Amino acid sequence: MYAFQYERAADAKAAVDMLKADGEARFLGGGQSLLASMKLRLASPSTLIDVTRIPGMSAIRMEGDELVIGAAARHADVASNPEVMRRIPALAVLANGIGDRQVRAMGTLGGSLANDDPAADYPAAVLALNAIIVTDRRNIAADNFFKGLFETALSPDELITAVRFPQPDQAAYVKFRNPASRFALVGVMVARTGKTVRVAVTGAADKVFRAPALEQALCAAFTPAAARAVRMDPSGLGADLHASAEYRAHLIPVLASRAVEQALKG
């Protein structure tokens, strides 16, 4: 690992100002992705700007009908937060299934979204729940946030400060996980709000995506059988040593049907 400076930002403005002053600096969340890439010499930031101690950035609270989670909230805190468990239990379950205990103790919501690993769990929740990503300068709708492989709508010096989650009527997340990394080989989040159903799939392609065929089928009948009857086209899906595109296409409706089953149980 190369030598680097460490700075602790006092507030969001100070963090962004530091990054604007030094284009080689990077924000530091839990370090669970960034430090690994530094050790592999894939990244060599001049300065790490720690944003996890910014007052209020780890807060989890209700604002009106929305659950607002600070970008520096650790996965373990989301998993065990009573408000999350009460308002959107699927989100607590998802956070509790990320990596291992050590990763959950350090990794943050904002870091996960900014990193945008194609097999990460939170992007599926953010997209299916139609959340808003709040940054130091704007609000970004989930539908406009995930742009491609490790690529988001964020500018290089833009800081995620929180995520606003509307409360769904029913939701659930089910992943078929890689037993070694625990990332999603495929993960499916299903969320129903009134007559709208949103389905987001992670792990299956170069970025998280919505599945319109599943959404239409589940709008017509919110049942496990309706999800299972959908056939996914494998073209465009990822293939690697862990799974073929056809296998991932097969898994998507299977996991969606299990998610619907869980969502119906509440």
Residues at the interface with ligand FAD (CB under 6 A) = 26-34, 36, 51, 71, 98-99, 103, 106-108, 110-112, 114-115, 117, 120-122, 159-160, 181-183
CA neighbours within 13 Å on the CB side: how many for 63? 9
**Nearer CB in complex with ligand FAD: 233/240:** 240
**Nearer CB in complex with ligand FAD: 119/252:** 119
Give min distance, CB of 60 to ligand FAD, in A.
15
Give min distance, CB of 35 to ligand FAD, in A.
6
The Cα 143–Cα 29 span in angstroms is 23
Which strand ranges, in their side-by-side order, compose the sheet holding 209-210?
170-177, 184-193, 196-202, 209-210
Q: Which residues of 26-59 are buried (b: 16+ CB within 10 A; e: fewer)?
A: bbbbbbbbbeeebeeeebebebbbbbbebeebbe
**Nearer CB in complex with ligand FAD: 93/217:** 93
Give min distance, CB of 218 to ligand FAD, in A.
24
The Cα 66–Cα 165 span in angstroms is 5
**Nearer CB in complex with ligand FAD: 218/259:** 259
Q: Say how many residues make up the chain.
A: 266
Q: Evaluate whether 7 touches 18 at the Cβ level (below 8 Å).
A: yes
**Nearer CB in complex with ligand FAD: 107/224:** 107
Give min distance, CB of 139 to ligand FAD, in A.
14
Give min distance, CB of 254 to ligand FAD, in A.
19
